[in-house]
Each structure stands twice: as C-alpha cells, then as structure tokens.
Amino acid sequence: MITAYDVLMAQNVDEAGIDMILVGDSLGNVVMGYSSTLPVTMEDMIHHTACVVRGTKHALVVGDLPFMSYQESPAKALYNAGRMMKEAQCDAVKFEGGEAVCEAVHKITAAGIPVVGHLGLTPQSVHQLGGFRVQGKEEDTARQLLQDAKALEDAGAFAIVLECVPADLATLLTHSLKKAATIGIGAGNGCDGQVLVCTDLLGMSGGFRPKFSKTYADLHTMITGAVRTYVEDVKNRTFPKKEHTFSMADDVLQAIQKDASALH
Ligand SMILES: Nc1nc(=O)c2c([nH]1)NC[C@@H]1CN(c3ccc(C(=O)N[C@@H](CCC(=O)O)C(=O)O)cc3)CN21
Ligand SMILES: CC(C)C(=O)C(=O)O
Ligand SMILES: [Mg+2]
C-alpha cells in the first residue's frame, strides 16, 4: 500500500502494481502545507480521493476520514463514510482509533462499506499522545493495543494499519487476528502488508525523514536539477530549439513584414 493524492501519482503507482492506494489525511502535511493533519476537511479528502480514483485502474482505493468527521457519533461517522463512497467513489474508508470507534466501524460495515482501522501512532491524536512517538512499549499500552485490534476485527474492519509500534508487538498482533490483515508503517516486517507515504518513498518530502521510511528514489534532486537546467537553457536561449518551434509560409511572413515596417 502507498499513499497518493492526485491522478498523476495514482496512475504511476497503479501502473507499478501496488495493491492498495491510500488517500491519506497526510494530505494536510504533504500537499496542503499544514503542520498536522487536524485542519483537513471532508471536502479536502473527497476532492483528492476522487482525483485518485480517476487515475486508478487496478488498485483498491481507500479514503482516509479526517479529524472530527467520525469521532462525534457513530451516526456522523456513517454519514461521512457514505459521503466518501458516494462522492469520491472509492472502495473503502479508513479512520483512527480502537474500542472508541468500534460502534462506528460496526455501523459502517453493516451498511456495506469496507473499513480499514488505524492503531498505534494515530496522528489525529498527536496532542493527546504528546508528540509523534512509538506506541505500545509498556505492558498496559501493549495490552490495550491487542484489545483494540481484536475489537476492530470483531466490529468488521478488514485491515488495520499499525503505525509506529514495536516490531515484536506488531507480529504478535498480526498472528492474533484471524480475519483482519495488518498493514505496518514503522511496525516491522511481521505485518501482512506495509504502507508508506509516496513522497517519503520517492525522496521529495523535504527534511521529513522518519526512522521507518526508506527513500527508493531522490526525486527532490531530480526535480530541482531539471528545473535548474531549464532556467539556464531559457536564459542562454538553448531552449526552445527548432524542433520545439512552429513556422509559417515565407510569402505570408513577407506580407506581414511590409505591414510591420509601415507602422514605424
Ligand atoms: N510525509 C509524511 N509521512 C508520514 O509518514 C506521515 C505524514 N507525512 N503525516 C501524517 C503522519 C505523521 N507521521 C509521523 C510523523 C512524525 C514521526 C516521527 O517524528 N517519528 C520519529 C520518532 C520515533 C520515536 O518515538 O522514537 C522517528 O524518528 O521516526 C512519525 C510519524 C506519519 N505520517
Ligand atoms: C500514514 C498513513 C497510514 C496515513 O494514515 C496517512 O497517510 O494519512
Ligand atoms: Mg491518516
């Protein structure tokens, strides 16, 4: 699984054979320039998820539900999950939380909408968590994670993202679940699948380099290099060349030249 936020990236990752595309609310950081995911709205998520759906032929597209679109009540969660499916036409929705959101998961799956859960470091709760830190290192928090994962599975989630949890705990959770698949990000290779933010993987997320990420390409260097060369080419007139240029018939040109010189 990989994130995407627009049609171009969706086409590229889909062609590369990815199984699932997540239109993450990391949109807030990656595309909109916010310092957290909290300001992202339903309108933002629907808009970008619809773009990704239009660029996807094969992968399953999951729309992330933004902060405060599902926390208030299971009824509101169902309403917004329905909006995401109807207006963006994606294949599933995802939202953060364990036991606290299980009633919402149950209602949404009962309505025929596939749900992906998200446990561990849940960025919409960053202020409560006190920062972006590994979760579930202590006995009580690890036990709560196991309970949350079981509860999400029982409520009907078909997959659960595990973000920034110790690898051994993620492996244990993966084995404990009977139906739901685990998708790790900073959770080791014992999960059923993995997810990364596309711009992190491609080396175009600026200075953001979390420990769990791996850059498979250096697009930042490629993009700045290409644009720098373009600027130079324009300034020294090596671009555009003849092959980038349109011409006109000589007699027409001569007629217009006469008109132009008459204007002097
Ligand atoms: N570009 C991008 N990639 C992401 O993976 C991502 C976003 N944006 N935005 C939403 C959330 C926020 N995420 C984050 C943000 C920061 C850390 C971080 O600073 N982690 C540290 C601390 C680990 C520790 O507790 O030791 C690290 O070094 O990984 C992790 C996940 C993951 N998500
Ligand atoms: C990092 C993934 C799991 C996510 O929730 C997002 O991109 O918003
Ligand atoms: Mg998210």
Give yes or no for residue 135 CB within 6 A of ligand 1. no
Check pocket membership of 26 for ligand 2, CB cut-off 6 A.
Answer: yes
Q: Which atom of ligand 2 is nearest to the CA of 96?
A: 5
Instruction: Record the pTM.
Output: 0.96
Per-residue pLDDT at 209:
87
The third-level CATH classification (topology) of the domain covering 2-217 is: TIM Barrel (3.20.20)
Confidence (pLDDT) at 207: 83
Q: Where are the beta strands (DSSP E) in the chain?
A: 2-3, 20-23, 60-64, 92-94, 115-120, 159-163, 181-185, 193-194
Ligand positioned closest to the Cα atom of 1:
2
Active site residue 163: yes
166 and 141 Cβ atoms separated by less than 8 Å: no
Q: What percent of the chain has pLDDT over 90?
A: 98
Which residues lie closer than 8 Å to 180 by C-beta, 6 or more apart? 117, 149, 152, 153, 157, 158, 159, 160
Per-residue pLDDT of 191-227, as tens digits, reads 999 999 999 999 999 888 899 999 999 999 999 999 9
Q: Does ligand 1 lie within 6 Å of residue 244's CB atom?
A: no
CA 147 remoteness from chain centre = 27
Ligand 1 contact via 200 beta carbon (within 6 Å): yes
Q: Is the pLDDT of residue 66 over 80?
A: yes
Residue 68 has pLDDT above 90, yes or no: yes
Q: Is the CB of 97 under 6 A from ligand 2?
A: no
Helical ranges in 59-138 per DSSP H: 74-83, 102-110, 126-129
Q: What is the mean pLDDT of the chain?
A: 97
Position 264 pLDDT exceeds 90: no
Locate the domains of the chain by residue range.
2-217, 222-263
Ligand 2, atom 4: closest residue by C-alpha: 24
- Determine the pLDDT at residue 238: 98
Question: Which structure tokens are listed for 112?
Answer: 């025929």
Annotated binding site for 3-methyl-2-oxobutanoate: 25-26, 64, 94
Active-site residue identified among 103, 163, 232, 243:
163
Mutate to test the pocket of ligand 1, among 26, 30, 34, 45 (most ligand atoms within 8 A of CB): 26
| pLDDT grade for 64, boundaries at 50, 70 and 90 | very high
pLDDT number for residue 163: 98
Measured from the alpha carbon of residue 35, the closest ligand is 1
User: Closest Cα to residue 100, out of 72, 135, 64, 80?
Assistant: 72
> Which tens digit of pLDDT belongs to each residue from 233-253?
999 999 999 999 999 999 999
Mean pLDDT of 80-105: 98
Whether the CB-CB separation of 61 and 91 falls below 8 Å is answered with yes
Q: pLDDT (tens digit, 9 = 90+) per residue, 15-34?
A: 999 999 999 999 999 999 99
Strand order in the sheet with 60-64: 2-3, 20-23, 60-64, 92-94, 115-120, 159-163, 181-185, 193-194
187 Cα to the center of ligand 1, angstroms = 12
d(CA 84, CA 64): 9
Ligand 2: does its nearest atom lie under 6 Å from the Cβ of 69? no
Cβ atoms within 10 Å, residue 18: 20
Please report, in angstroms and rounded to a whole number, the separation of the first and last CA atoms in the chain: 65
Which residue lies with its CA nearest to atom 15 of ligand 1? 132
Measure the CA–CA gap between 24 and 9, rounded to whole angstroms: 13
* 43-76 residues labelled b (16+ CB within 10 A) or e (exposed): ebbbebbbbbbebbeebbbbbbbbbebbbeebee
Q: What is the structure's pLDDT at 231? A: 98
